[in-house]
Amino acid sequence: MHMKKWFLFLALATIVSAPAFAQDKQGVVLTVAGERVTLEEFENIFRKNNRDTVITRQALEEYMEMFINFKLKVRAAKDMGMDTVAKFRNELAGYRAQLARPYMNDDAMLGELVKQAYERKKEEIRASHILIKCDPGAAPADTLNAFNRIRQLRERIMNGEDFGAVALESSEDPSAKSNSGDLGYFTVFQMVYPFEEAAYNTQAGQVSQPIRTRYGYHLVKVVDRRPARGEILVAHIMVKDRKDESGAQVGEQKIQEIYQKLLAGEKFEELASKYSEDGSTSKKGGELPWFGTNKMVMEFEDAAFSLRNNGDFSQPFRTSYGWHIVKRLDYRGIPSFEDTEREIRSKVSKDSRAEVTRASFIQKLKKEYNFSYHPEVLKPIAAKADTTVFSGNLIVKKKDLTKVLLSIHGQNYLVQDFTKALSAKKNTKSKLNPSDFVMAEAAAFAEEQLLKYEDSRLERKHNAFRLLMNEYRDGILLFELTEQKVWSRAVKDTAGLRAFFEANTDKFMWPERLDAVIYTCASADIAKKARVMIAAGTDRSEIASKINEGTQLNIEIQEGVFTREDKDVLAAMEWKKGLSPNITQNGQVFIVYVKEVLAPSPKKFSEAKGMATSEYQNYLEQQWIGELRSTYSFSINKDVLYTIR
């Protein structure tokens, strides 16, 4: 396996929590240059990367060989001191902070929020809103002013003014100028949590009380509530909305012609393959990925969800992307809680709901670690603080510095610990007075120390986390050294790359190709007309102009150099110079004019550079692995290895 692919696969796999094993896993399964690898570590990684593999001795041995290469490279990186440099330490610390997040919350509270999110997933809300902007750190006077403004707007609405008219006039959401505050339908996770809370807790036709989000103050009017639409699978035919030189609506004309063919009984998939201008879906019969509310433009969603039965198709309709016809392929409702719990849990953990779980988590830690906090020792000090405290300057008498401010699991934190932390904060901006600022900072310091203490114990408390950190540590080292030894070297060593290419030209060959013109005709009659014009030497642009007069569907002409894989029709014909006979495929008739049959030939260096670079990287890696295996000793304990079942 290519080293970069292996690293990326490893990194992705380690995101999944490690499984728990009942039996003892501390036996040594591998020793590399004196370093022991336990069965627990090896099995943890093996199972993540081989979830669907039948476990046999051969499978274990093959994976062990790849794992040995991995460990040899990591050992080489450590011997070079790469695990001591600041870049490595900073990168690992960044990953650790991310990986620690799932362990730094209240699981019970998280579970409640997951269930709440699932219930909301069953319903969609259509709402309008009015926004008065107010930054999270705004001065109290500015915050009060914003609150008073939103409250006055609500009073106007409650007194009978139209919500949309007030939004158009007063909302500071720029989109209100075009939509009068209408947000359309949405569901859980599509709005910030406080806004979502207000929407789901307001009845249809009612206006919420003012709510605060990070954007400012909002009023939310719930226009409608409906059961969730679920998700739908559709295929579509798309034609770009365009005009010709005379101003005629060519796009609309083309979609209407296609629609008439559908009504006449022609297959949707074949028409999509022939005529749809969405290149990403046309070869798949127009099929799109599954989608639900707020994933497509509203006109497309409404047209799709209005189809009641699989196989139904819509009339042509227009969106900002062009003209469409949609066919319903399948539909599914909201999945069961069991099927979607993991996905919802991940979203809740990353959502602003996480603040709720954080507060609950802190309360649990306080009980677990017998946390005590003594703000009274600071109050006399805070009372004497002046504005220099915003620059970290807090004057404290020597006798007060050693007073205990808080205690965590028997470990005391003194006033001087707080003052040191405060002094590190320079030019803090705050709207609080100096005394209140000191007390607020002290409370935040206490919580911060509690979370730091818990963070420092994660490897001891959670075995899965410890294993995960080991994998990331090794993965970063592997990536950095492989970058030096293989990836960058292959790019920078132009002479070596060129020499490798010249020595392996047989690996970089063009297959047999055609220099040809391909005429794709809508019918045998069209092909007959085209063949007469081709034989007469008519210019290709003139052929297209005359045969496509009044339509956009009769003929398409492509010229170029093609391999057999480029076009299905090329695999179905005899390759020889001249004009091919008619070839019928997928309801279309093809004529191919072969200018020349190009024999297999070596690619030029410029044509094969990308592939050559990849092959050169593989070559360098294999050389490197050979050197490592001859430099470092290693041994496998197969008796331990084979205990994996």
> In this predicted model, what pLDDT tens digit does every residue of 510-559 receive, in sequence order?
999 999 999 999 999 999 999 999 999 999 989 999 999 888 789 999 99
Q: Pick left, alpha or beta for residue 315 (phi over 0 → left; psi -120 to 50 → alpha; otherwise beta).
A: beta
pLDDT band at 1 (very low <50, low <70, confident <90, very high): very low
Of 14-23, 376-385, 506-515, the range with the lowest mean pLDDT is 14-23
Query: Quick one: pLDDT band at residue 23, thresholds 50, 70, 90?
Result: very low
**pLDDT interval class at 623 (50, 70, 90):** very high
pLDDT band at 4 (very low <50, low <70, confident <90, very high): very low
Residue 13 has pLDDT above 70, yes or no: no
Which residue ranges does the chain devote to CATH 3.10.50.40? 123-227, 231-332, 510-602
CA distances from 145 to 106, 154, 210, 420, 493 (A): 36, 14, 13, 37, 64
Question: Which residue do the tokens 């739908």 mark?
Answer: 232
* Per-residue pLDDT reduced to its tens digit, 182-237: 999 999 999 999 999 999 999 999 999 999 999 999 999 999 999 999 999 999 99
Instruction: Indicate whether 602 pLDDT > 50.
Output: yes
CA angle 555/558/562 to nearest 5° reads: 140
Which pLDDT does position 25 carry in this prediction?
62
Tell me the helix, strand and coil percentages in the chain, rounded to 5: 50, 20, 30
Q: What is the pLDDT of residue 357?
A: 85
Confidence of residue 583 (pLDDT cuts 50, 70, 90): very high
Helix segments in 171-284, DSSP class H:
176-179, 193-200, 250-263, 268-275
CATH, domain 123-227, list 3.10.50.40, 3.30.465.10, 3.40.50.300, 3.30.110.30: 3.10.50.40
Crossing angle, helix 3-13 and helix 463-482, to 10 degrees?
A: 160
DSSP label at 485? Answer: I
Rounded to whole angstroms, the Cα distance separating 640 from 426 reads 57
User: Does the pLDDT of residue 573 top 50, yes or no?
Assistant: yes
| CA end-to-end distance (rounded Å), the chain | 24
Inter-CA distances, 196 with 29, 123, 188, 219, Å: 52, 12, 7, 12
In terms of DSSP H, where are the helices of 159-203?
163-170, 176-179, 193-200
- Comparing CA positions, the residue from 581, 613, 367 lying closest to residue 494 is 613
pTM over 0.85: no
DSSP per-residue string spanning 291-341 = B-TTSS-HHHHHHHHT--STT-BPPPEEETTEEEEEEEEEEE-PPPHHHHH
When pLDDT is cut at 50, 70 and 90, the band that residue 354 belongs to is: confident
C-alpha dihedral (463, 469, 471, 472), degrees to nearest 10: 160
Query: Residue 294 region, left (φ>0) first, then alpha (ψ -120 to 50), else beta?
Result: left
Of 201, 187, 225, 211, nearest to 129 by C-alpha is 211
Bigger pLDDT: 68 or 139? 68
CB 6 within 8 A of CB 66: yes
The string of pLDDT tens digits covering residues 363-380 is 999 999 999 999 999 999
Mean pLDDT of the chain: 91
Average pLDDT over every residue of 441-464:
94
pLDDT at 19: 37
Angle at 105 between CA 101 and CA 106, to 5 degrees: 160
Q: Work out the percent of the chain whose per-residue pLDDT is above 70.
A: 96
Q: How far apart are CA 86 and CA 90, in angstroms?
A: 6
- Give the up-direction half-sphere exposure of residue 429: CA atoms within 13 A in the CB hemisphere: 4
Backbone angles phi, psi at 440, to 5 degrees: -65, -40
Whether 6 shows a pLDDT value over 80: the answer reads no
Q: Which two tokens stand for residue 527?
A: 């092909």
* Sign of the four-CA dihedral 359, 361, 364, 365: negative
- Per-residue pLDDT band for 137 (boundaries 50, 70, 90) equals low
Architecture, CATH, for domain 510-602: Roll (3.10)
The answer to whether the CB of 615 falls within 8 A of the CB of 504 is yes
Average pLDDT (407-422) is 96
| pLDDT score of 570 | 94
pLDDT at position 10: 44
Say which amino acid occupies 382: A
232-270 in b/e form (b: 16+ CB < 10 A) is bbbbbbbbebeeeeeeeebbbbbbbbbbebbeeeeebbe
For 231-332, which CATH class?
A: alpha beta
3-state SS, 389-423, equals HHHCCCCCCHHHHCCEEEEECCEEEEHHHHHHHHH
pLDDT digits (tens, 9 = 90+) for 240-281: 988 777 777 888 999 999 999 999 999 999 999 999 999 899
Assess contact for 31 and 642: CB atoms under 8 A.
Answer: no
**Which residues, at least 6 apart from 307, have a Cβ–Cβ distance to it below 8 Å?**
234, 313, 314, 326, 327, 328
416 Cβ contact list (under 8 Å, min separation 6) = 396, 401, 402
In b/e form, how buried is each residue of 477-510, taking b as 16+ CB within 10 angstroms?
A: bbbbbbeebbbebbeeeeeebeebbeeeeeebeb
Relative to beta strand 28-32, strand 231-239 is unpaired
Strand 322-332 relative to strand 372-373, pairing: unpaired
From residue 12, alpha-carbon distances to 19, 100, 472, 512 in Å are 16, 16, 10, 39
